[in-house]
Structure formats: C-alpha cells, structure tokens
Structure 1
Amino acid sequence: MATNHSSDDESTRLYHPYQSYELPIKAQHLYKLPTSPEYLFTEESLKKRRSWGENLTFYAGTAYLGGSVAGAAAGVISGVKSFEYGDTTKLKINRILNSSGHKGRSLGCRIGAVGLIYAGIESGVVAYTDRDDVWTSVVAGLGTGAVFRAARGVRSAAVAGALGGMVAGGVMAGKQVLKRYAHI
C-alpha cells in the first residue's frame, strides 16, 4: 500500500509493501515512489497535451455523443408532435423511439464529423507550428467550418469558416474564464 508521508522530498511517496500484514518494518526498507508520471523521454514530459490519436478520439467521440443526445431530445419532441387521434400507447411509443433514433443518429453523425475534422486540423496545425494556444484552436475552427461547408460553395464555406473560428475562440475564452474563476 502506498501512503503519503511528509518527507524532505514532496515529489515522492513512501511505499510499504507489507502494510496489510502489520509487520515491524524499519523506515529504510520502505520504497520511495514518484508521485508524478514517469516518462521515457524528457520531450514527452515537456508536452502538456494529448497525442493526435487521443485528440481525434476525444473530439469525435464527445461530438458524436453530444449530437446524438441533442438529436434524440429533438426526436422525442418530433415524435410527440406526430401523434394522431386514436393512436394506441404502443404506437405512440414506437413513433417516439423511431423519431428519436433517426434524429439522434443523423445529428450525431453530422456533429461527429465536425469533431473529426476539427481534431485533424488542430493536430495538423500543432504539428506544423509546434505551438498549442488559443490561435491554434481558432485556426482549426476556421478550417473546420470551411471544410464542412465547402461542398455548398465558396460563400457558404467562408461564412461557416468565420462562424467556426468565432465559436472556437469563444469556447477557448470560456475555458480560460473557467480555469481562472471556477478553479476546475
């Protein structure tokens, strides 16, 4: 069992492997284990961000989950609105389930694709500039909006890119405010 003891070095903790047996073990036989993560290379310890694969999984997964939940909620409302006079309870439940499943799936896929594009562009910008700051997120938001709406024309891509950049900047500003005032 690992126990935290105040010692001269706060970056280690004492590990007593026989603590549950209550054997009299002298302090010199305890192990000092580090409390921070250990890295094989020092370059890994300097970077305080996720890898591109973790980034891709995180953004795409959370976007898909959020879109699916929002779409399912909209589908419930749409299913309730589609009730007809004389519908049985089974038919009403079926309408709600079909509508929420269809809308949740479609909105989840759309927003998940946006998360996938954003993660790819952000990882590419970080790899190219070797910086991870607010402007990286804004550029990734600009690129995401433009790529997502590129099939609808240049004007639509420019408007979506501007909106994407503003949303990414707003999210990053909100994150900084939460870090400063909410202490999360």
Structure 2
Amino acid sequence: MACQPRGADQGSASEERNGNRQFYNPYQELNLPSRSLYKLPASPEFLFQEEAVAQRRSWGENLTYYTGIGYLAGVSGGAAKGFATAVKSIEPTDTLKLKINRILNGSGHAGRQIGNRCGVIGLMYAALESGMVAARDTDDVINSVVAGLGTGALYKAASGPRSAAVAGAVGGVLVGVAVAGKQALKRYVPI
C-alpha cells in the first residue's frame, strides 16, 4: 500500500491529479476560493486610535530610514567618484588585471568613506528631528529645519565655530528646500 498525504484518500475531492503530481487543496470542501481567505489589508492596522491619527514614522523607524538612505546614497555617489578617479589614474602600461584592481579599490574605498559620512549625517538628523518632535509635541516644518541646522553645525563642530555655522546654515537651507519641494509635489503632482 502506497503512502498518501494525511487526510486524503484515493477518491477524495480535495485531491487533483495532474500527470504524476498530486495537488492537495484543503479549502475545496468548503467551497471557498483560497485567494479570498488570504486577502491582506492594504493599509496598516493599528492597536490604538492615536497611532492611526499620527501620519509619521516612529523615532526608531526614522533613525533606520535616514541612516540607511544616507549610507546608500553616499556609497553610490562615492563609488561613482572612486570609479572616475580610478579610470583617470590608469596608466597605459597597466595590465587588464591591474586596471580592474585599481577600479575596484578606488570605488570601494571612496564608496565606504563617503557612505559612512552620509550615514552619520542621516543618523544625527533623525535623532535631532525625533528629539524636536518629542520636545515640542508637534510635527511641523520647523522641526525639520532646526534638525537640519543642528545636524550641519554638529557635524562640523570639530572644525571650528565658523565652519559649524556655515554647515548649519547649509543644512537648514537644504532641509528647507527639500521640505518645500515635498509639499509642492504633494500639492501639484497627482498621484
């Protein structure tokens, strides 16, 4: 006697034969399509109503998001910069193996270096923005701009007060432009 799947006999309607394969559908006897049983909600589900009202990521998600985006953007840009520098430094007497080695080393080195810097900037920005939201108990543009100012100033603080002030101003302006651009996209570009 041959082994059969549990709960299925040879004449069962829940078993379909297709060549040498047997397909078992446990929902066939219920007369329900299996796809309707597994329809998942399209929107997130919240335990408390306060969470559903807040249209914002949590501080941990923010930290992960901005750090990851910063690192990814930095690695991509750094690898491109390292690739261009390595291609310029190739000498006519280099073998193919040496050329490939120069390109890989240049791309990897610059990518890691710039990626780490951008990841740290993203980490500081996320921490400052989440701190501002917690301190002010409101989520608006001011939090983002002040976090940009603080991030620039904090990142360049070791270079002196003048560099910190300039970097803070640049950070605030960049965040202000990004927030304004995001609001313009929301308003004028249909989704």
Q: Report the TM range for the smaller structure's normalisation.
A: 0.7 to 0.9
CA distances 1:137-178 after superposition (whole Å, capped 9, x unpaired): 100000000000000111111111011000000000111111
Give the structure-1-normalised TM-score. 0.81
Q: What is the rounded CA distance, in whole Å, between the counterparts of 2:148 and 2:65 in structure 1?
A: 16
The change in CA–CA distance for 1:108 and 1:35 in structure 2 (over 3 A counts) is closer
Amino acid corresponding to residue 48 of structure 1 in structure 2: Q
CA distances 1:15-45 after superposition (whole Å, capped 9, x unpaired): xxx9x638568xxxx9xx9765332222212
- Aligned partner of 1:169 in structure 2 is 176
Pick aligned residue for 2:133 from 126, 131, 134:
126
Q: What is the rounded CA distance, in whole Å, between the counterparts of 2:107 and 2:66 in structure 1?
A: 23
Q: How does 1:9-158 map to 2 (within 5 A)?
A: 21=28, 36-158=43-165
Larger Rg: 2
SS of the aligned residue for 1:183 comes to: coil
Return the offset for 1:179. Answer: 1.1
Q: What is the rounded CA distance, in whole Å, between the counterparts of 1:22 and 1:66 in structure 2?
A: 53
Q: Percent identity?
A: 62
Amino acid corresponding to residue 82 of structure 1 in structure 2: S
CA distances 1:46-92 after superposition (whole Å, capped 9, x unpaired): 21100000000000000000000000000110000111121111100
C-alpha RMSD of matched pairs (Å): 2.2
Return the offset for 1:182. Answer: 2.1
Q: What is the rounded CA distance, in whole Å, between the counterparts of 1:49 and 1:85 in structure 2?
A: 55
Pick aligned residue for 2:188 from 167, 177, 181:
181
Deviation above 4 Å: which 4+ runs of structure 1?
Answer: 22-25, 33-36
> Where do 5+ consecutive residues of structure 1 fail to align?
1-17
- Aligned partner of 2:8 in structure 1 is none
The change in CA–CA distance for 1:87 and 1:179 in structure 2 (over 3 A counts) is same
